[in-house]
Amino acid sequence: KLMPYTSVIFLVGAVSISALPPFNGFMSELMLFESFFQSFSLAESSIKILLFSVLAILALTSALAAACFVKAFGTVFLAMPRSQEAASAKEVSKSMIIGPAILAVACLVLGLFAVQIFSVAGYSFDLPDMSLVGLVLVIFGVLVFGMVRLFSPRKSRRSETWACGYVRPTPRFEYTASGFAEPLFQIFRLIYRTRHYNERSYEDNQQAIFKQGKSAIHTIKFFDEYIYLPVAGLFGRISRFISRLQDVDLGSHILYSFITVLLVILAARWLW
């Protein structure tokens, strides 16, 4: 609501990168899938197994991309503001809208008229004509809109969403990005492990009357935990060791220089 043009442009980009029709991401991924399927008739048995594996990973990546951008768009543009900066957000100037808007239009044009563009460029691919699909979608949307306008009551009433008796729901009532992604974390829990922290306090010693609580979910990423952080920690320890070597007297510096030159000479002698 606060940034309508930006949200529409972001939605177009999200749909495109999620490979949904009729945008360009769908056509590019369709061509990629077709190349894999055509490779099955030419490849050997061992290569076919690899192609099936890559094809499955590609399909999984497409599904994860769609889930990622559904989460991103819903959390950023459809949720209640969680900070004062977000609550006071305003639409950007027209000069900042023009550039992304051109790219959004290009995403739609390249998807709808991919067959025609390839024909002009001199390439021939067995692809569906998405311009017809776009026309069908437009006609279907107009029919649905007309039926809703025709059969819906003339008078409408706006009210707050039912929040189980709470008069004014706060942003804390909303579905967070972490909560939205939690099912995916459960599916890939061997790669993305989570740690749950719970703190509770009670009004009485018998812990019968709840006072307040705090819960947090910390995601442990596989690549960060087992690849990036160990390597970064190793370089950090090396850097601290080198920094300690610098805090010595002049005699120690001369000794280190002599040892370094000696090691270089020995290494050169061994290599050549």
pLDDT digit string, tens, across residues 27-59: 888 888 888 877 777 767 777 788 888 888 888
118 and 243 part of one domain? no
pLDDT for res 47: 79
Domain-located, residue 197: yes
Chain mean position to CA 260: 47
Contacts with 231 (C-beta within 8 Å, 6 or more apart), sequence order: none
Domain-located, residue 173: no
219 and 112 part of one domain? no
Domain-located, residue 161: no
Q: Which amino acid, residue 138?
A: V
pTM of the complete model: 0.63
84 and 139 part of one domain? yes
Helix axes 45-73, 4-17, angle to 10 degrees: 170
Domain-located, residue 54: yes
pLDDT for res 80: 77
11 and 117 part of one domain? yes
What is the residue-wise DSSP string for 143-177?
HHHHHHHHHS-S-----PPP-TT-SS--GGGSPPH
129 and 217 part of one domain? no
10-residue mean pLDDT profile of the chain (272 residues): values are: 88 88 84 80 75 84 84 82 81 89 91 82 72 79 85 70 68 72 73 74 80 76 79 89 76 81 86 73
121 and 216 part of one domain? no
Which burial class, exposed, middle or buried, applies to 39 when counting CB atoms under 10 A from its CB (0-12, 13-18, 19+)?
A: middle
116 and 37 part of one domain? yes
Tokens 């017809």, residue located:
132
Chain mean position to CA 177: 11
192 and 77 part of one domain? no
Q: Tally Cβ neighbours within 10 Å of residue 166.
A: 10
131 and 214 part of one domain? no
Bridge partners, 37 (sequence order) = none
pLDDT for res 163: 65
Tokens 């543009």, residue located:
77
Range of the domain at 218: 188-272
196 and 271 part of one domain? yes
Q: Whole-angstrom Cα distance, residue 21 to residue 122?
A: 24
Domain-located, residue 194: yes
| E strand or H helix that includes residue 86 | helix 84-87
pLDDT for res 24: 86
| E strand or H helix that includes residue 93 | none
Q: Tally Cβ neighbours within 10 Å of residue 212.
A: 9
Angle at the Cα of 51 from the Cα atoms of 47 and 55, rounded to 5 degrees: 175
Domain-located, residue 124: yes
Domain-located, residue 34: yes
pLDDT for res 106: 92
pLDDT for res 9: 93
pLDDT for res 104: 92
* Domains contained in the chain, number: 2
Domain-located, residue 89: yes
CA atoms 144, 148, 149, 151: torsion sign? positive
271 and 138 part of one domain? no
192 and 72 part of one domain? no
